Amino acid sequence: MTGAAALGNGARIAVLLGLLAAGVLTGAAGWLVVDLWFPGGLALALLALFGLFLGSRLALGTGIGVGAATAGWFLSYVLLGVPRPEGDFLLGSSGIGMYVYLLGGVVLAVMCATMNLPGDRPLSAAGKAK
């Protein structure tokens, strides 16, 4: 047994909370890097998101891990996008980089959540999986 089937309910909840926290941290770092170094920072942030989403898919063996990481990533966007009491925003969406990061992150999350891994195929009673 591998992935989510080998974990108990308590361990699965702990892993999901850890992925939620990793999504918040990766999202906050990504949002700040996109503004700092535009073309390279955008690629770096999207690669970090891809690594997080793919790792969460592999860690649990199901798309629910990607959902937890995506929820954390989107939570960081909401928290950084709320106006401060001074009237300005911590996260300024002045350029196209923020929109590409948001759309690219959603595409990566959907891609990782819906992918079929070699271990996902059912084994036939007649022989090995191909």
Query: In this predicted structure, what is the pLDDT of residue 20?
Result: 95
pTM over 0.75: yes
Long-range CB pairs of 84-92, under 8 A, 24+ apart, other chains included: 91/31, 91/35, 92/35
Helix, strand, coil abundance in the chain, percent, nearest 5: 75, 0, 25
Token couple for 124: 């036939």
CA neighbor of 78 nearest in space, from 24, 125, 30: 24
* 13 vs 64: CA distance, rounded Å: 11
pLDDT tens-digit profile, the chain (130 residues)? 455 556 778 888 999 999 999 999 999 999 888 877 778 889 999 999 999 999 999 888 888 999 999 999 999 988 887 777 776 666 666 678 888 889 999 999 999 999 877 666 555 566 555 5
